[in-house]
Chain A
Amino acid sequence: MKKYLFIVVSMFALLLAACGDSTDSGETSEYRTVYSGEIKTLNYLKTAETNEFALSANLVEGLIEYDEYGVVKPGLAESWESNDDATVWTFKLRDDVKWVDHEGKEVADVVAQDFVDGLNYVLDAKNESSTAWIATVVKNGDAFYNGEVTDFAQVGIKAIDEKTVEYTLEGQTPYFLSMLNYVCFFPVSGEFLAEKGDAFGTNRENILYNGAYILDKFEPQNERVLVKNKKYWDKETVKIDRIRYKYNKEAATVAPELFLRGEIDGAVIPTSILDEWLNSEDKKDLVRQNNNNFYTYFYALNFDPQYDAEYEPENWKVVVNNKDFRKSLYHALDRVSAMLTIEPYNPQDLLSNTITPKNFVDVEGVDYTLLEPLKAITENDSFDKDLALQHKEAAMAALNGKATFPVKVVLPYNSGSPEWANRSQVVEQQLENLLGADYIDVELYAGPATGFLGEIRRPGKFSMIEANWGPDFADPSTYTDPFTEGGSYNKPELAEGYNGQYDKLVAAAKAEVDPAVRYELFAKAEAFLIEEAFVIPYAVGGGGYVASKLNPFESQYSPFGVTSEKFKGQSILEKPMSNEEFKSAKEAWEKARAEALANASN
């Protein structure tokens, strides 16, 4: 019993101690939040996870940055130039950038060789970097990764002198600057890396910092604290002194309550409790919409169905090659009702009529999605009951005798996502109701939570699927990858009457360097894809609702890469923005952005 006595005593001690009070001190600007997705590493050269490079973006910096309207501005590089066909890029580094350690002590200068060392690490396959695929844009990058080239000197990156770094690329890449905004092009001190070996990035002592913040505390599954880096080259623009992240696996449930109690400054408000917030006098001004991101969601019609015979893949193959059939689905899908499953209040704000989202790239201030011939598609909702039924009649007439109706439409979803499951049920019933049970029979199929891509999408076990794609750099060509030959989505190249048209259009566009011409060609290709109804554009990612004391329009803006995750430039508001304030701020921002972009291109 002695053992228990000991515990009893300690329990009492604990309860007594509980009566003491803890005190909070300090009047510095602090941002506190809870998170549920833990990061697994600080090694920014290895990771491809959003929440990991979101942290790294505040600790380590790359060559360029963006301003709040998405115009490129100097980062660690103070100037740069490229040759005419955009294959060789030279960057001149800033003088006053230092590597500091976790205590803020200066360790070394950031030099050109650091960028070479960083890329070398990423492209070395034995380091298992998940972002190596994007770094293969550099000449011989892929060959080095695969082991065909063993001498890194043959890879297209050179430190010309201490402050000049030169990239030679595999092909012409006018959008290369935007790629530099990604972690795989970040610098690393080669000496430090060699010293730490495998331990690099495992804790806060094992990385060097050159960014706006230093990790003051890093305890996974508990807490991490960022404090301002006093040696940072641009420290005047850093307004928040301290950022405190507390881990909570149930953050979605707990965070709203913590925000109301004033224990945190930012919380995601799940749709399920949004009603409660919007209908309550004292809470409704605390919550606002969140900005969209650049993930694009679409329904892809499969031209190479590989599922079980009981779902009649051959029959689907016949009907999907009929344009009227595809168009009937295209016009029949009521995207608003599908969107209500995640965004019941402003569903329109998340819908996208094109594959490439709005505000991604522009030609002199004119958004890409408004270029001809994409403009007509952007400005019209694809949902049209009458057109859908017209196409249905036409398809049934044309396919009479060739296909059996109702057509079985296999619509898989990831069983790990309740929203996706709900949405699939909505889509199933909505399509069947509109087009009639004599025409289609949508079969829901619950795919596995892990390995969904490998089990369902890649092997083509679907007739129609909700799929998504995120950009890898700021150029429309990034959104063409899923649909060109070799893509693992719906294989439109197998469609009857396709004759490689989309691939040809894309190839022509890729050959152009001048953005105006280039983007127009891409717009043409995308319009073809949608007009043929090979895919049905659906929505963009992000959105949702937050209660937050941050102003989202103060942060750096870029459709791709890590810049938008930076706290630099942001400050903490007295009280959170309401949705009205958010909307008007957004309008003002969009106007200012168009001007800024137009100015930048002159």
Chain B
Amino acid sequence: MIKYIAKRLGQSILTLFIIVTIVFSLLRLMPDEGYLGAAAEKMSLEQQEVYLTNLGLRDPLLIQLKNFYIGLFQGDLGKSVTYRTDVPVLDIIQDKMMYSIVFGLGAVALSLLVGVPLGIFMAQFKGRWLDRLGTGYIVFVVAVPAMVYFLMIQMYISDWFNLPMLFDEYNPKSFILPLFCLALGPIASYAMWMRRYMVDELNKDYIKLARAKGVTERTIMFSHVMRNAFIPMAQYLPATILFTITGSIYIESLFSIPGMGGLLVDAIQRQDNNVVQGLVLVFSSLGIIGLILGDILMAIVDPRIKLGKGDSVR
């Protein structure tokens, strides 16, 4: 197991290296004007050149790349240029991550708490009104554009229940609506997957056998079906939890949550290369760690799986 993890991590570092290099090169294709912001209009071409040279953007690509990696190995991701001038990239990410993690974990917990039971009940009462209601909810969440119903929730539910519209860290009431919005989507997907796996599992022969043996429905549900239905979900759970730090762009924008949502988009649009590179590094590491953790968790819940025989790609 440890050997397996070490091997996976080793490969991952190579992958990370390639990803960051590609992103680094892609970013240098961005138009020069994006670095200048409002000043683009007024600066003369010579002044623009001086400015861009000072940013290091006129060095050959390989030199820029070398400087970046030298910094990286010293644990320095560089400083932001156009997002928050001269503030270290790590500080920016750290400040924002806190908020997204809190909300993200809250939403994951809430959606597991609601979504998994919902899926179980839907499977148990397959084809009846509860199942239909749940399906209706899932279809609604998937089909209606999120930006439409989030805005409605913010405007109307806040009014009906007298809740604050904007997030305020000193007012716990203001946590309710964003959390609720954040959980809507995941509840639907957990319920959907749970229901599907449960139904698959319920049709299997060993369940029929158990029923024939006279095992109580309760025992069947909890110690057989649920446990097995949970296995495929276990694989994705670590990645889901880790990725809560990336935040949600719609919800954080609407409710004024100073989290990570939209940070990447903002940073790219403002062409803050250092911030983008830092974020890409963080996100891809999370993605890779999530995969490894998923495999490990799978191996723990499902004793049939042995790690280390070939690399799984899912």
B34, B42, B166, B173: the one within 8 Å of A133 (CB): B42
- Determine if A222 is an interface residue (Cβ-Cβ < 8 Å): yes
A263 with B165: in contact, given A18-B175, A43-B86, A253-B151 (CB under 8 Å)?
Answer: yes
A-B contact number at CB 8 A:
148
- Encode A462-474 as 1/0 by CB contact (under 8 A) with B: 0000000110100
- Determine if B200 is an interface residue (Cβ-Cβ < 8 Å): no
Residue with the highest number of chain A CB atoms closer than 10 Å, among B39, B41, B254, B256 = B256
B290 to chain A, nearest CB (A): 15
Chain A neighbourhood of B252, CB < 8 A: 249
Q: Which chain A residues (449-499) contact chain B, with CB distance < 8 Å?
A: 450-455, 469-470, 472
- Determine if B84 is an interface residue (Cβ-Cβ < 8 Å): yes
B214 to chain A, nearest CB (A): 29
Quick check: B85 and A40 within 8 Å, CB to CB? Answer: yes
Quick check: A128 and B34 within 8 Å, CB to CB? Answer: no
Question: Contacting chain A: which of B7-15, B20-28, B50-58?
Answer: B50-58
Chain A neighbourhood of B37, CB < 8 A: 48-49, 130
A201 with B96: in contact, given A257-B155, A454-B32 (CB under 8 Å)?
Answer: no
Chain A neighbourhood of B36, CB < 8 A: 130
Give the interface SS of chain B, mostly helix, strand, loop or mixed: helix
* Distance of A472 Cα from B164 Cα, bound (Å): 42
- Determine if B293 is an interface residue (Cβ-Cβ < 8 Å): no
Question: Contacting chain B: which of A4-12, A110-118, A421-429, A507-515?
Answer: A4-12
Closest to B173 in A: A18
* Distance of A248 Cα from B151 Cα, bound (Å): 13
A131, A261, A469: the one within 8 Å of B39 (CB): A131
**A interface size (C-beta, 8 A):** 61
* Distance of A215 Cα from B263 Cα, bound (Å): 24
B173 to chain A, nearest CB (A): 5
Closest to A457 in B: B41
- Encode A261-281 as 1/0 by CB contact (under 8 A) with B: 101000000000000000000
Quick check: B82 and A254 within 8 Å, CB to CB? Answer: no
Quick check: A220 and B258 within 8 Å, CB to CB? Answer: yes
Quick check: B55 and A128 within 8 Å, CB to CB? Answer: yes
* Distance of A454 Cα from B36 Cα, bound (Å): 11
A133, A258, A450: the one within 8 Å of B165 (CB): A258
Quick check: A454 and B33 within 8 Å, CB to CB? Answer: yes
Quick check: A41 and B86 within 8 Å, CB to CB? Answer: yes
Chain A neighbourhood of B258, CB < 8 A: 219-222, 247
* Distance of A4 Cα from B117 Cα, bound (Å): 14
- Determine if B305 is an interface residue (Cβ-Cβ < 8 Å): no
Quick check: A48 and B172 within 8 Å, CB to CB? Answer: no
B112 to chain A, nearest CB (A): 6
Quick check: A133 and B47 within 8 Å, CB to CB? Answer: yes
Chain B neighbourhood of A160, CB < 8 A: none
Closest to B80 in A: A40
A128, A249, A258, A453: the one within 8 Å of B41 (CB): A453
Closest to A486 in B: B44
A455 with B85: in contact, given A18-B172, A132-B47, A146-B46 (CB under 8 Å)?
Answer: no
- Determine if A198 is an interface residue (Cβ-Cβ < 8 Å): yes
- Determine if A580 is an interface residue (Cβ-Cβ < 8 Å): no
* Distance of A22 Cα from B6 Cα, bound (Å): 50
Quick check: A220 and B84 within 8 Å, CB to CB? Answer: yes
Residue with the highest number of chain A CB atoms closer than 10 Å, among B86, B169, B170, B262 = B86
- Determine if B40 is an interface residue (Cβ-Cβ < 8 Å): yes
B38, B80, B256: the one within 8 Å of A248 (CB): B256
B31, B32, B254: the one within 8 Å of A254 (CB): B254
- Determine if B215 is an interface residue (Cβ-Cβ < 8 Å): no
Quick check: B172 and A17 within 8 Å, CB to CB? Answer: yes
B96, B168, B169, B176: the one within 8 Å of A221 (CB): B96
* Distance of A202 Cα from B89 Cα, bound (Å): 12
* Distance of A410 Cα from B208 Cα, bound (Å): 73
* Distance of A128 Cα from B32 Cα, bound (Å): 15
Q: Which chain A residues (124-171) contact chain B, with CB distance < 8 Å?
A: 125-126, 128, 130-134, 145-146
Quick check: B38 and A130 within 8 Å, CB to CB? Answer: yes
Chain B neighbourhood of A397, CB < 8 A: none
A15, A46, A49, A221: the one within 8 Å of B38 (CB): A49
B57 to chain A, nearest CB (A): 11
Question: Contacting chain A: which of B102-110, B135-143, B216-224, B279-287?
Answer: B102-110
A137 to chain B, nearest CB (A): 13
Chain A neighbourhood of B176, CB < 8 A: 15, 18
Quick check: A258 and B46 within 8 Å, CB to CB? Answer: no
- Determine if B210 is an interface residue (Cβ-Cβ < 8 Å): no
A41, A263, A451: the one within 8 Å of B34 (CB): A451
- Determine if A20 is an interface residue (Cβ-Cβ < 8 Å): yes
Q: Which chain B residues (155-201) contact chain A, with CB distance < 8 Å?
A: 155, 164-166, 168-173, 175-176
- Encode B53-65 as 1/0 by CB contact (under 8 A) with A: 0110000000000
* Distance of A50 Cα from B44 Cα, bound (Å): 19
Closest to B241 in A: A3
- Determine if A14 is an interface residue (Cβ-Cβ < 8 Å): yes
* Distance of A101 Cα from B44 Cα, bound (Å): 36
A249 with B262: in contact, given A451-B31, A454-B32 (CB under 8 Å)?
Answer: yes
Chain B neighbourhood of A247, CB < 8 A: 256, 258
Quick check: A257 and B254 within 8 Å, CB to CB? Answer: no
Closest to A451 in B: B31
- Determine if A199 is an interface residue (Cβ-Cβ < 8 Å): yes
Quick check: B256 and A128 within 8 Å, CB to CB? Answer: no
A43 with B42: in contact, given A451-B31, A454-B31 (CB under 8 Å)?
Answer: no
A258 with B166: in contact, given A8-B113, A11-B109, A450-B269 (CB under 8 Å)?
Answer: yes
Closest to A219 in B: B258
Quick check: B172 and A14 within 8 Å, CB to CB? Answer: yes
Quick check: A22 and B165 within 8 Å, CB to CB? Answer: no
Quick check: B109 and A14 within 8 Å, CB to CB? Answer: no
Quick check: B86 and A145 within 8 Å, CB to CB? Answer: no
* Distance of A38 Cα from B160 Cα, bound (Å): 31
A128, A146, A219, A453: the one within 8 Å of B40 (CB): A453
* Distance of A18 Cα from B162 Cα, bound (Å): 12
Quick check: A257 and B105 within 8 Å, CB to CB? Answer: no
B268 to chain A, nearest CB (A): 10
Chain A neighbourhood of B38, CB < 8 A: 48-50, 130
* Distance of A43 Cα from B86 Cα, bound (Å): 10
Quick check: A254 and B154 within 8 Å, CB to CB? Answer: yes
Chain A neighbourhood of B256, CB < 8 A: 34, 222, 246-249
Quick check: B86 and A249 within 8 Å, CB to CB? Answer: no
Chain B neighbourhood of A220, CB < 8 A: 84, 258
B79 to chain A, nearest CB (A): 7
Quick check: A22 and B55 within 8 Å, CB to CB? Answer: no
B50, B85, B96, B271: the one within 8 Å of A125 (CB): B50
* Distance of A249 Cα from B165 Cα, bound (Å): 13
Complex A-B, nearest 4 residue pairs according to Cβ-Cβ distance, in ascending order: A451-B31, A249-B253, A130-B39, A41-B85
Which A residues are closer than 8 A to B by beta carbons?
Answer: 4, 7-8, 10-11, 14-15, 17-18, 20, 22, 34, 40-41, 43, 46-50, 125-126, 128, 130-134, 145-146, 198-203, 219-222, 246-250, 253-254, 257-258, 261, 263, 448, 450-455, 469-470, 472
Q: A254-B254, A257-B165, A454-B32 are in contact. List 8 more A-B contacts (CB 8 A).
A: A7-B108, A7-B109, A128-B55, A222-B169, A250-B253, A263-B166, A450-B34, A470-B41
What would be 22 A-B contacts, judged by CB atoms less than 8 Å apart? Answer: A4-B109, A11-B113, A22-B173, A48-B39, A125-B50, A130-B36, A133-B39, A198-B79, A200-B86, A203-B87, A219-B95, A219-B258, A220-B84, A247-B256, A248-B253, A248-B254, A254-B165, A448-B31, A450-B34, A450-B271, A454-B31, A469-B41
Which B residues are closer than 8 A to A by beta carbons?
Answer: 31-34, 36-44, 46-47, 50-51, 54-55, 79-80, 82-87, 95-96, 105-106, 108-110, 112-113, 151, 154-155, 164-166, 168-173, 175-176, 252-256, 258, 262, 269-271
